[in-house]
Structure 1
Amino acid sequence: MSYNHLTLTERARIEVLRQENYSLRSIARKLKRSVST
């Protein structure tokens, strides 16, 4: 099993989307990442 870290760009995007009240599931979908990442 391989693991991938989030990039700084992805982390910044997550921060913005969380401030806009997006759910973790919808953010994962937008980033094409697993919700458990």
Structure 2
Amino acid sequence: MVEPPYGGGKRKQFHEALLRQLYPSSPPPLSPPPDQSVHQ
């Protein structure tokens, strides 16, 4: 039962939120927050 990671907008937001919970120190690779990319 493998579903595409981005079946819709809500699924994409859920996936990004999950990445933020797993890796709070690093921004998501798809849409990094501007405030964190400035620090790099």
TM-score, normalization by structure 1: 0.45
Higher RCO, 1 vs 2 (CA within 8 Å, ≥6 residues apart): 1
More helix by share: 1
Which of structures 1 and 2 has the bigger CA Rg? 2
Taking structure 2 as the reference length, the TM-score comes to 0.42
